[in-house]
């Protein structure tokens, strides 16, 4: 069996390549960067490919594709987000029309305007989103499903090599305080990179060729417990302090407006999108993945997070 992995130069794609290599599965790695360290992709053959520019003219023959490419941030112009998420997915589908297609999506396709409480897969996509990130990921999902793909929906992916979630949490620390939003008691489904990689391999090589599956750790966690464990593992002497979501949203909207006017490429420290994912319950029902894919996730753990800095 031979599997192509898009987004291989990134956090998730690189981890998928290394897992496939460890299982002895022939892998073709594709990423936007001109080159990557061979170890990052499990020493798989690597080719640079910008999916926003169209299909690959001379693709290798593969049995399956694990499509990890896409925007790694929720902040940016709508055109760029749709290019990365929708156009990129269209290019990957056109390049490998006969292969099984595993599309790594996101739980951001669920309704951001109300809590997600043990959401089942048929509750998304929806018709309204906070920003172009959610809308573009939903559009990419619809396209992939039209072509008979398998869609995986992780939430808040973390682990060694994470360039988004853990760094965002740690960058918010101010002296002895980690400012946060909500009550601290809201439950959240998180997805470790190890669990997501296992789901990707099961989807690419298992008996099911299509369908939508939530992917998360074995059980949701209380967000305050997660924050405190992250800080403890990293040796950061700080504690979470919570601002009510109702007060934080207008402040975030003002900050976003100021950043947009200033044309700053990076997001504010707090955005309405971030609030929508961490200030209210965001939990996923993973029954379908367990029963159909044979997915057996491990529990949430930040053990070893002190050593993740070198790879973030």
Contact 193, 160 (CB under 8 A): yes
Sorted by where each starts, the structural domains of the chain and their CATH numbers stand as 2-305 (3.40.50.720)
State the pLDDT at residue 309.
57
- The span from the CA of 268 to the CA of 252, in Å, is 8
Least Cα distance to 218 among 243, 198, 189, 197 occurs for 189
pLDDT band at 269 (very low <50, low <70, confident <90, very high): confident
Tell me: the pLDDT tens digits for 124-161?
Answer: 999 999 999 999 999 999 999 999 999 999 999 999 99
Tell me: the pLDDT tens digits for 164-186?
Answer: 888 888 988 999 999 999 999 99
Higher per-residue confidence, 121 vs 304: 121
Q: Is 214 helix (H, G, I), strand (E, B) or coil?
A: strand
The pTM score is 0.95
Least Cα distance to 156 among 92, 253, 221 occurs for 221
311 has a pLDDT exceeding 50: no
């Amino acid at each position: 069996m031979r599997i192509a992995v898009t987004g291989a130069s990134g956090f998730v794609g690189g981890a998928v390549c290394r897992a496939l290599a460890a299982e002895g599965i022939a892998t073709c790695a594709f990423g936007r960067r001109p080159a990557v360290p061979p170890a990052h992709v499990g020493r798989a053959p690597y080719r640079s490919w910008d999916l926003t520019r169209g299909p690959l003219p001379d693709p290798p023959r593969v049995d399956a594709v694990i499509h990890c490419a896409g925007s790694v941030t929720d902040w940016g112009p709508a055109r760029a987000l749709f290019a990365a998420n929708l156009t990129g997915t269209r290019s990957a589908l056109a390049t490998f029309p006969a292969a099984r297609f595993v599309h790594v999506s996101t739980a951001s396709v669920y309704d951001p305007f109300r809590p997600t409480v043990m959401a089942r897969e048929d509750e998304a996509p929806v018709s309204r989103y906070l920003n172009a990130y959610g809308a573009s990921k939903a559009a990419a999902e619809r396209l992939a499903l039209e072509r008979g793909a398998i869609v995986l929906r992780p939430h808040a992916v973390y682990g060694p090599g994470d360039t988004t979630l853990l760094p965002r949490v740690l960058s918010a620390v101010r002296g002895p305080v980690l400012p946060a939003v909500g009550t601290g008691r809201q439950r959240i489904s998180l997805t470790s990179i190890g669990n997501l990689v296992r789901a990707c391999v099961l989807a690419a090589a298992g008996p099911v060729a299509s369908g939508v599956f939530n992917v998360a750790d074995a059980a949701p966690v209380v967000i305050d417990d997660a924050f405190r464990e992250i800080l403890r593992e990293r040796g950061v002497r700080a504690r979470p302090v919570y601002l009510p979501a109702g007060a934080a949203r207008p402040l975030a909207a003002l900050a976003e407006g100021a950043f947009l006017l200033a044309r700053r490429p990076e997001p504010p420290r707090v955005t309405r999108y971030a609030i929508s994912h961490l200030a209210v319950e965001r939990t996923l029902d993973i029954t379908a993945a367990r029963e159909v894919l044979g997915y057996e996730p491990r529990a949430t753990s930040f053990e070893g997070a002190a050593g993740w800095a070198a790879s973030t």
